Copies of this chain bind each other. A is one copy, B any other.
C-alpha cells in the first residue's frame, strides 16, 4: 500500500458527519479491509438502566459501516444503508471505553455487507451489528 492511499483513507475516516460527533468516536485504523475505532461511554449515552443505550451502539455501527463502505468505493459512487441487524450480548457500564472492529462480510458490485463488533475493556463482546449497504452510482442517486 502506498502512503498516498493511506492518506486518502484517513481523510475519509476523519470526515465524520455531525451525528457521529455526538459519540466522540476516535478512528484508530482506517483501511479498506478493517476499520477500528473506540469511544468513551459517557453519561450522555446512557439508557433507563443506567448503562450504555443500545441506540448509541447502533448509531456508532451505522456510522462505521458507512465509513467502511466508502473506503471501498470508486470515485463517483455513493452508498446508503438498506438494513441493519444488531445482537446485544452484554451491558456496558458508564465510564467504559468500547473498542470496535468493522470487517467485511461481502463486497459485491451492488451491495456491501459489514459487521461491527463492540468489545468491552475486559475483552468481552458486548454487541454485534451487521448491515447491508447498497452501492449507488451517479444515476442511482434518485433511489
Interface residues of A (CB under 8 A from B): 15, 17-20, 22, 43-49, 53-56, 58-63, 66, 70, 78, 80-89, 91, 105-106, 108-111, 113, 125, 128, 130, 132, 134, 140, 142-143
Contacts and interface: CB of A to CB of B under 8 A. Distances in A.
Contacts of A63: 47, 53, 55
Given A91-B80, A110-B143, A111-B82, A55 B44 contact: no
Nearest to A48: B17
A85 B88 contact: no
Secondary structure class of chain A's binding surface, majority of residues: mixed
10 contacts: A17-B48, A18-B46, A53-B59, A53-B63, A55-B60, A58-B86, A81-B88, A82-B111, A85-B85, A89-B106
A19 B56 CA distance: 8
| A43, A61, A83, A91: most-surrounded residue (chain B CB, <10 A) | A83
A64 to B, nearest CB: 10
A60 B55 CA distance: 7
